[in-house]
Amino acid sequence: MKAWQHFKTITYHKLLVMEGCFKVGLYKQGLLHDLSKYTPTEFIVGAKYYQGTRSPNNAEREDKGYSAAWLHHKGRNKHHYEYWMDYSMKEIPGGMAPAKMPVRYVIEMFIDRIAASKVYQKEAYTDRSPLEYYMLGIEKAPLFLHPVTKKQLEILLNMLARYGEEATFTYIRKCIVKRKK
């Protein structure tokens, strides 16, 4: 088990998200982000499957066929689009439908993606990294994001890739968060 390395990784990630949330004015979300990662259900799995280059949940998924830690995590953290999945009352493939995420959680999800990319890519990180990672995943799961949520997230990821973090965070703080108050 690599408990200390896992603790350092999740704490560094949490601090990066907190810093980003504070920059855009989402103070409470910055403080509360990913606290469930410190619970035994998630922490023990993270320490057991820790690799340092990717989420331990993927290693657990490869080992067991599912990730109990991820199921716990996504059910408690509203910045994950999977939290917003529900059964559909309409005839759609899979019987599941995404709900539109409140914009404050879209912003936290965006910042979470930046932080995860920085943690795992280290020096190789660029402002394009979160967009590139997103594009790899969205091809596999295009129906899991509500169209409005998808558009909001993609605008921010593209803005980050084109104009950088400082300009994107300023836009979020002045044009999105300020408007919501």
With cut-offs at 50, 70 and 90, classify the pLDDT of residue 169. very high
Distance separating alpha carbons of residues 97 and 165, to the nearest angstrom: 32
Structure tokens at 144: 């899991």
Give the burial class of 6: count Cβ atoms within 10 A of its Cβ; 0-12 exposed, 13-18 middle, 19 or more buried: buried
Question: What are the residue boundaries of the structural domains of the chain, listed by start?
Answer: 3-180
pTM of the predicted structure, to 2 decimals: 0.94
Q: Contact at 8 Å (CB) between 145 and 98?
A: yes
The closest of 61, 17, 13, 70 to 42, measured between CA atoms, is 70
At 17-26, the pLDDT tens digits run: 999 999 999 9
**What pLDDT score does 139 carry?**
76
98 forms bridges with which residues in the sheet?
85
Q: For 101-144, write each residue's pLDDT tens digit.
A: 999 999 999 999 999 999 999 999 999 999 999 998 887 666 78
44-77: pLDDT as tens digits: 999 999 998 999 999 999 999 999 999 999 999 9
